[in-house]
Amino acid sequence: MKGNTKNALIIFARKPELGKVKTRLAATIGNNKALDIYTKLLMHTRAVVKETDAETFIFLTEPTLDNFWDTFSCELQIGDTLGDKMQHAFKLIFEKNFQKCIIIGSDCPELSVEIVNTAFIELEKYDAVIGEAQDGGYYLLGTKHLTPALFKNKEWSTANVFSQTILDFENEKLSYSTLPVLNDLDEEKDIPPEWL
């Protein structure tokens, strides 16, 4: 078992397939380049999580035959909406008796080991932690117990998700900490220059 046995890190990732990843990006740079950028994002995310103080679980949209994630525990995303899938993932992890659980995606080139480890440290003091994305969503969410309200009644993939989740924290009377605002990679302007 890797890292801190109290800490679990969930990554939501897609199988890297031509025409099925980073579709907004592909609209301007083409499917081949979009797949290349997504592969770089996956490699960056994998490099970050290998250095974090947590056991990592990869939740994939569908089974994959490659060995990209072979050093991690792999599960499938289950549910109709993104919220359903996230709630299922958190439930599964807390049933494994982890005390702190954080979820990230695979779209954030600015994500660092320091930010993820800081999020776990913040969960020592707070009920929840969240990292806002510049587009109004979030790139990281962490809690110490399953709170279904965090995954319901959201306008997923809109600029309202972060603010709606903060309201949930307040309505559920959860203390929370916020992390630095980072940029998710959704459009051509978001691509780090060294990746072009």
Does 51 fall in a domain?
Answer: yes
The pTM score is 0.94
Residue 17 belongs to what domain range? 7-184
Number of domains in the chain: 1
d(CA 104, CA 72): 15
Could you report the per-residue pLDDT of 15-48, keeping only the tens digit for each? Answer: 899 999 999 999 999 999 999 999 999 999 999 9
First to last CA, the chain: 37
For residue 10, give the nearest of 101, 133, 113 by alpha carbon: 101
Does 63 fall in a domain?
Answer: yes
pLDDT band per the 50, 70, 90 thresholds, residue 160:
very high
Could you report the per-residue pLDDT of 98-118, keeping only the tens digit for each? Answer: 999 999 999 999 999 999 999
d(CA 5, CA 177): 22
